[in-house]
Amino acid sequence: MHNAAFAAAGIDGRYELMEIDEENVAGAVAAARSEGWLGLGVTAPYKQLVASLVDEVEADAREIGAVNNVVRTRDGRLIGFNTDAPGFRVGAEKAMAFPLTGAKVVVAGAGGVARAIVHACRVAGVASLTVGNRSPRQINGVRIVPLDSNEFVLALQEADLAVNATTVGMIDAGMSIPVEELPPTATVFDCVYVPAETPLVAAAGARGLSAANGSEMLIAQAAIAFERWTGVSGMADVMRAAVMPLLADPTVTA
């Protein structure tokens, strides 16, 4: 995606994968202070560690508790930010075909992606937000209820949007959301994008519900990061054209 965007924008740049062990993370972040670097993308499990290694963490990323991208300033300072929250909002609103504002949202999961989704929902001003997880706790003040609780089921029955923010459907088998509990007007959004049709998306479609996987969230957050690094906006279509054939390939696995 990113290299397609560099080419389309006429920028002499490249996006490279670095698979590194934890003890080498600090060195990799330090290297990004050098001229020639635009920034970094960060994946689990290093999103919290990288936050402690940059010069500044933006407010949204601090609240979410994770840095998934870093931009280098002209003077070599590193700023950590998070694109998962705005990326989710773009993807979810595209799937719903109306804004998150005023919507009733139910989320399954309490990990890093769920924290970003909670933040996005708060910023959007949703009408209600229910988070379910196997082990109840809190996310930024939002109480989490058990996935198998009556409270979670009741929230699903009134939901405008039901979101899977777990690895169920990608790493783990099964579904995190019982689609039979959703009203016919609900939209299902699965943050998993490999496979392209998860069991949840398939089940929602079989019920006649609007449903989408996480590919648009992936593309949106990538385009947001690219703009922060380069100042060039509007690369979502280029990125989509580059990545969708790969995501649609049935031989691609998590």
Residues labelled as active-site residues: 47
* Residue pair 163/108 in contact by the 8 Å Cβ criterion: yes
Tell me what percent of the chain is helix, strand and coil, each rounded to the nearest 5: 40, 15, 45
* Residue pair 188/160 in contact by the 8 Å Cβ criterion: no
Distance CA 47, CA 59 (A): 15
Q: Where does residue 38 fall: left (phi above 0), alpha (psi -120 to 50 degrees), or beta otherwise?
A: alpha
Distance CA 63, CA 50 (A): 15
